[in-house]
Chains A and B, each alone.
Chain A
Amino acid sequence: MVGEELVGLTPEMIEASQAGMKAIGAAIAVGSTGLASAAAEMAIGSAAVGATAENKDVFGLVLLLTVIPETIVIFGLVVALLLIF
C-alpha cells in the first residue's frame, strides 16, 4: 500500500518534502516555545512593572524574574536552528 503511494514520487520530491517537514518542525519548535514564554512572561512582567513603580530598587531583581521563562524559547530556537542547518 505505502509502496504504491510512493511510486509517483521522484527522489527530488521526497527530498523537498523532507526539507518542508524540517521547516515545519522548526516552526513548531520556535512558535510553541515562543507562545509558552510569552504566556509566562505576561504575568511576571505586569507584576514586575507594578513592583518597580512601587520601589525602583527592585528593578534588577524583577528583571531576573521576568526573563526566567525566556529559557524556554531559547531552547526552542536552538532546536529549530539545529533542525534546519
Chain B
Amino acid sequence: MLSPEQMSRVLIAAPKDVMEPVISELHRQRLFHIEDFVENDEEEYAGYRIGVPLEGAKEISKDLLRLRSVTGAFSLRAEDLDPSGKIRKSQLTAQIEQELPGIEMEVEELLSRRTELENHVKELEQKIEALTPFSEMRADLALLHGYRTLAVFAGYLSKKVDIGVPCEEYYSESKKGNFLVAVVPVEYRQEVERKLLDAQFQTVPVPDESGPAKERISVYNVQIETDRKDLEEIATQLDALKSQYSEFLIACDELLSIDAQKAEVPLRFATTDHAFIADGWVPSHTLSSLTDGINAVSGGRAFVAKLPIQKERDVVPVEYDNINFAKPTQFLMDIYSRPKYTELDPTLIVAIVFPIFFGLILGDVGYGALLLVASFGLRKLLKGSDGKMLLDIMRNASISSIFFGILFSEIFGFKLPWAPILPSRHLNIGGEGGHGPAIPELMIMCVWIGIIHITAGRILGILNHARRAQGGAFDIEEASEHHGNQRSHHVRAMLANLGWIMVMWGILVMIWSAFPMPLMPDLTGFAPLVMGLTLPLIIGILLVVPGVVFIFRESALELVELPTILSHVLSYARLVGVGVSSVAIAMVINFITIGLIIEPQLENLTIFGAIIIAVGVIVWIIGQILNTILGMIGGGLQSLRLQYVEFFTKFYKGGGKKYSPFGEIRRFTED
C-alpha cells in the first residue's frame, strides 16, 4: 500500500544447451521483466553479443503471418471470445499441421474471389456512369465512333445553341443539364468547337459500346446484381467458417505467438559462444520461486544471482501493490502516469476520494442507481481488463452517488421524503424548492474539502521526500558524497512543502480573523494586542512569513505560484457548481414535463390529453437519460481533474516504467 511492489534485480547465467527450458520456465512463471541487452564497448561487456533466435523461429513467424491474414480477414480478436476450454498443446500442434493449411487455403480462395468480384462490380459501375448521359438517346452508340470524315461532339452546355453547319444533332434538357450530341463533317470542327465553347460546353467521352445506352445499362445492372449475390454467398461462407473455426484459430494464434515470443527472446539476452546471460527484474517476494523453477528445469546448471540496485543507472520497473478495493483505480493512475519506483503510490487515496467527489457532484439516488445498473449491464459488452477496471470504478462511484443522494435528499431532481442532511441543493424552479440552495454553506463545505485534500497532498509531498532522503525504496546503502547533497536537497523540499501548508493555513487564519463565515471558526472577536493586530492575525502572519521563507529557500521561482493557493482551493467550488447545475437540469426537465405538459392534462383527461401525457413521459425519460450521461461525464471528469491537478501537483511526479514480465496468460491453450 502507498508504495509500489519491491523489485529485485536478477541475473540468470546458464549454458546455451539449457536455454530453451529456461526460457519456457520464465514464460510459464510470468515474473521476469527482461532488461534488453545492448552491445557496447564497455570493458565489462567485452565478448558478449546479442543472442540469435532459437531454431525454427523463421518458420513460426511465417506460420503466424499466414494465420494472421486469416484472423485479420475475420476481424477476430482474442478479447471478444470467451474460451470454452483449453486445448492441449500437443493436440493443437497436430491440428495445426492437419487442418490449418486447408482452412487457410479455403479462406484465401474466398477472399481472392471476393476481391475479384468487388473489382468487377466497380468496373461495371464505372461503365454505367459513362453511359448514363446517353441513356435518353435511342440511337445505337456504335454510330457515334469510328469516323474519319465526321467529328462527334457530346457533352453538357448551358443553353441551346444553333450550330449553324450541316449536322445531325440530339438535344435534351434535364435537371442535370442540357445534353447535346452532334455529328458534323470534319471540316467544320473548329467552327463548331468555338461556338460550343461560348455556350460553356463540357465534353463527355463517348463510350466504346454498341447498342442503345439504356439497353447496355440494364445489361450491366443485371451483371452487378449477380455479382452482388455471389458476394453475399461468399460472405455467408466466410461467416460460417468464422463461427466454426474462430476458437481454433485464436488458439492457434495464441500458441504460435507464444512460440514466436519464446523463439525470439534470445535477441534480448547477452550471449557468448557457450553461455547466455539474462538480465532483468522480479518482484522481491517471488525471487525464490523463480530461482527454484530455473534450478529445476536446468538441473542446477543455471546460476541465478540477485544484483544490487544502482540508483543512478537502473530504471526499476514498477508494479502496483494495492489491496483489491484499490486495484481498479490503477487504471486512472496509468492514464496520468505510473508512479516512479521511489515514489509514494497514491492509488489507494484516489480510490477512496474519487468516488466521494463523484458522489458530491452527482449526489442523486436515481442517477446513482441507473449508473450502478449500467456498470453491471455493460460487463457483457466491455471485455478486457481495462474495461473491467473502468466498470469497477463506475460501480464504486455510483454507490457513492446513491449515498450522497440520500444525504442531499435527491432522486431524479425530486425531493426524498426527508430534509437534506447536507446543505440543500434544491433550486427554486417552478415555485418549488423552498428557499433555494444553501450556496454559501455548500461553497464553504467544498472549500474545506479543498483545504483538507491539498494539505493531505502536501503532507504526502513531505513523506515522499523523507523516503527519498533515507535512500527511498532501495534496499542498498549508497555511499557517496553525492548522497549528502541529495539529502540536503530533500530536506529543503520537505521544508518547502511544510511552508506551503503554513502559508495556506496562515492565510485562512487571517481571513477568519477578519470575516465571520458559516461553517468556519469565527475569530473576529479578539481585542487588538500589538499595533492594532489581534492574536489570530499575529498567528496568521507567524505562519505565512516563515512559510514563504521555506518556499523561497527551495526555489525563488516557486513564489510566483503563491496565488495558486487561492485558485486551487477555490477550484473545489466546481463540486458545487457542476453539482448544482446537474440538479438544475433535472429540475427543469421535471418542471417542463410534469408541471407544464402532464399535470394540466390530468385536470380533465381527454384522448388527446392522453397522447400529450405520453409525449411528456417520453420527453421526461429522454431528458433524464441525457442528464445521467452528462452527470456521469461531468462528475467523472471534474472529480478526476481535482485528483490530477489539485492533488497530484503537490507531491506526485510519475513517469515510472511499467513492469511487463516476459510471458503471457494462456486463455485457450495449455502445455
Return the contact of A78 from the options B443, B649, B654 (Cβ within 8 A): B443
**279-333 of chain B: CB within 8 A of chain A:** none
CB–CB B654/A60 < 8 A: yes
Query: CA A64 – CA B570 in complex, angstroms?
Result: 17
Q: Which of A59, A63, A64, A82 contacts B439 (CB 8 A)?
A: A82
Number of interface residues of B (CB under 8 A): 24
| Interface size class, chain A | 10 to 19
CA distance A85 to B444 in the complex (A): 13
A67 within 8 A of partner (CB): yes
Complex CA–CA separation, A81 to B425 (angstroms): 12
A69-85: contact bitstring with B at CB < 8 Å (1 yes, 0 no)?
Answer: 01100110110011011
Contact partner of A74 (CB less than 8 A), chosen from B439, B574, B644, B655, is B574
Known: A71-B567, A85-B436. A60 touches B573 (CB 8 A): no
Instruction: Check if B277 is an interface residue, CB within 8 A of chain A.
Output: no
The residue in chain B whose Cβ has the minimal distance to the Cβ of A77 is: B577
The B-contacting residues of A in range 29-85, CB under 8 angstroms, are 57, 59-60, 63-64, 67, 70-71, 74-75, 77-78, 81-82, 84-85
Judged by a CB distance under 8 angstroms, whether B335 is at the interface is yes
A71 CB to nearest chain B CB (Å): 5
Known: A64-B649, A67-B645, A84-B439. A74 touches B577 (CB 8 A): yes
Chain A residues with CB under 8 Å of B335's CB are 59-60
B641→A81 contact, CB < 8 A: no
> Does B577 contact A57, Cβ atoms closer than 8 Å?
no
B315–chain A nearest beta-carbon distance, Å:
14
A82 vs B577: C-alpha distance when bound (angstroms): 11
- Name the distance in Å between B279's Cβ and chain A's nearest Cβ: 24
Task: Decide if B443 touches A81 in the complex (CB within 8 Å).
Answer: yes
> Which positions 4-19 of chain A face chain B at CB distance < 8 Å?
none
**How many angstroms from the CA of A77 to the CA of B579 in the assembled complex?**
12
B336 at the interface (CB under 8 A from A): yes
Question: When the two chains form their complex, are residues A78 and B440 in contact, meaning their CB atoms are under 8 A apart?
Answer: no
Asked if B462 is at the interface (CB within 8 A of a chain A CB), the reply is: no
> What B residues does A64 contact at CB under 8 A?
644-645, 649
Residues in B neighbouring A85, C-beta threshold 8 A: 436-440
Per-residue A-contact encoding for B630-671, CB less than 8 Å = 1, 0 else:
000000000001001100110000110000000000000000
Bound Cα distance from A77 to B649, whole angstroms: 23
- By a CB distance below 8 angstroms, the chain A residues around B654 are 60
Question: How far does the alpha carbon of A57 sit from the alpha carbon of B335 in the complex, in Å?
Answer: 8
A77 and B573 in contact (CB under 8 A), knowing A64-B649, A84-B439, A85-B437? yes
List chain A residues, Cβ under 8 A from B570.
71, 74-75, 78
Tell me, yes or no, whether B61 is within 8 Å of chain A by CB. Answer: no
B135 located at the interface, meaning its Cβ lies under 8 Å from any Cβ of chain A in the complex: no
Question: A residues within 8 Å of B by Cβ?
Answer: 57, 59-60, 63-64, 67, 70-71, 74-75, 77-78, 81-82, 84-85
* Closest 9 pairs between A and B when the two form their complex, measured CB to CB: A85-B439, A60-B336, A71-B567, A60-B337, A77-B577, A81-B439, A78-B573, A74-B571, A67-B645
Given contact pairs A63-B641, A74-B567, A82-B443, a sample of 4 additional A-B residue pairs in the complex whose CB atoms are under 8 Å apart: A57-B655, A63-B336, A63-B645, A70-B571
A-B contact pairs, 11 of them (CB 8 A): A59-B336, A60-B337, A67-B641, A70-B571, A71-B571, A74-B570, A74-B571, A81-B443, A82-B440, A85-B436, A85-B438
